[in-house]
Amino acid sequence: MAFHSFGSTGSVTEFRTCSVKAYRPVIGVLCCNEVADRPVQLVASRFIEPLSRIADATVLLVPALADACDAAALTSRLDGLLLTGSRSHVGAQHYGSEQQSDARLDAQRDYVALTLAEAMIESGRPVFGICRGLQELNVLFGGTLTQELGDLHHRPGAHAFDDLFEHHHAASLQRGGVLHAFGEGDRITVNSVHRQGIDQLGQGLTVEAVSLEDGLVEAFSARPCGGDVLALQWHPEWDGAQGRTNRGFFRRIGSALRGDTELGARSAAAGGER
């Protein structure tokens, strides 16, 4: 099927033929509230690129604005959701803690993330998390968070992004888990760019990876209503999603959006690139 698109003059000599591409599933990617001379909605481009290249998905940015969040309407239109990392922390009131740090907060992001993720999960649609996204999902499942993390998880004094993401440590993958099936082995090296992490794991979540040095939960999974829930504390999108586990995470997203997680597991384990 094709259609003709005409130039601004309307001349038939200026037309071009455009083929209609096959449908790609749509994944919502949650933004953050930032200020760049004025309030803006922001998401780093590096989260989007592997969703297109590896997951073969179309990305729809979701504003982190409470008044603009119609969870039911968005859930009916999205095939899946990714909760991204952020420079802000999840508010302590959401997990019943009085602990409060001097970190940046984003109350509207909290509201949209928890409300929309709950609606998506209850509808059986897949939801994924990276860094702050893992923390939000843990809270959604009744877990708690802590800011009492050592320098293992964040490079002290680093300000440039490249310096932050050069901070690594070893993590152990749980045998028989979703991530272990991607074929990278029992142990991987992950970047570590966070000052907030899991204290108590949420109900119904299965540990996928832990820090080898201090046992902090680095990844978890679940399928509470038939759709994938999979979240990583590290940033698999950094540096183009290098490594089997990081690429496998995005392949799993693509297959989950299409309703075929078995295909995604086989593809990730095989190491094939789209």
User: What is the pLDDT, as a whole number, of residue 203?
Assistant: 98
123: Cα separation from own chain's centroid: 18
As a whole number, mean pLDDT of residues 98-108 equals 78
| Beta carbons within 10 angstroms of residue 46's beta carbon | 16
User: What is the pLDDT, as a whole number, of residue 6?
Assistant: 45
Is the pLDDT assigned to residue 157 strictly greater than 70?
Answer: no
Is the pLDDT assigned to residue 274 strictly greater than 50?
Answer: no
Taking a C-beta distance cutoff of 8 angstroms, is the pair 229, 137 a contact? yes
As a whole number, mean pLDDT of residues 70-80 equals 97
As a whole number, mean pLDDT of residues 164-168 equals 68
> Of 274 and 218, which is predicted with more confidence?
218
- C-alpha 224/C-alpha 141 separation (Å) is 10
For residue 139, the 8-state DSSP code is H
Helix (H) / strand (E) element for 74: namely helix 71-77
Is the pLDDT assigned to residue 257 strictly greater than 90?
Answer: yes
- Tokens for 244, please give them: 């089997």
Is the pLDDT assigned to residue 16 strictly greater than 80?
Answer: no
Q: Decide yes or no: CATH 1.25.40.80 for domain 24-270.
A: no
For residue range 201-251, list pLDDT tens digits in order.
Answer: 999 999 999 999 889 999 999 999 999 999 999 999 998 889 999 999 999
- C-alpha 69/C-alpha 113 separation (Å) is 10
Mean confidence (pLDDT) of the chain: 86
Catalogue the E-assigned strands of 110-203. 127-130, 145-146, 168-173, 187-191, 197-198
As a whole number, mean pLDDT of residues 140-155 equals 77
User: What is the pLDDT, as a whole number, of residue 97?
Assistant: 83
Confidence grade of residue 161 (pLDDT, cut at 50, 70, 90): low
Q: Where do the domains of the chain lie?
A: 24-270
Those residues whose C-beta lies under 8 Å from the C-beta of residue 24, and which sit 6 or more positions away, are 56, 57, 58
Is the pLDDT assigned to residue 159 strictly greater than 80?
Answer: no
Using a pLDDT cut of 90, give the percent of the chain over it. 68
- C-alpha 152/C-alpha 170 separation (Å) is 10
1-5, 21-25, 195-199, 254-258: which is most confident: 254-258
* Burial annotation 102-126 (CB, 10 A radius, 16+ → b, else e): eeebbebbbbbbbbbbbbbbeeebb
- CA torsion 130-260-50-117 (nearest 10°) is -30
Query: pTM here?
Result: 0.86
- Tokens for 35, please give them: 């200020």
User: What is the pLDDT, as a whole number, of residue 104?
Assistant: 85
> Of 1 and 111, which is predicted with more confidence?
111
Is the pLDDT assigned to residue 12 strictly greater than 50?
Answer: no
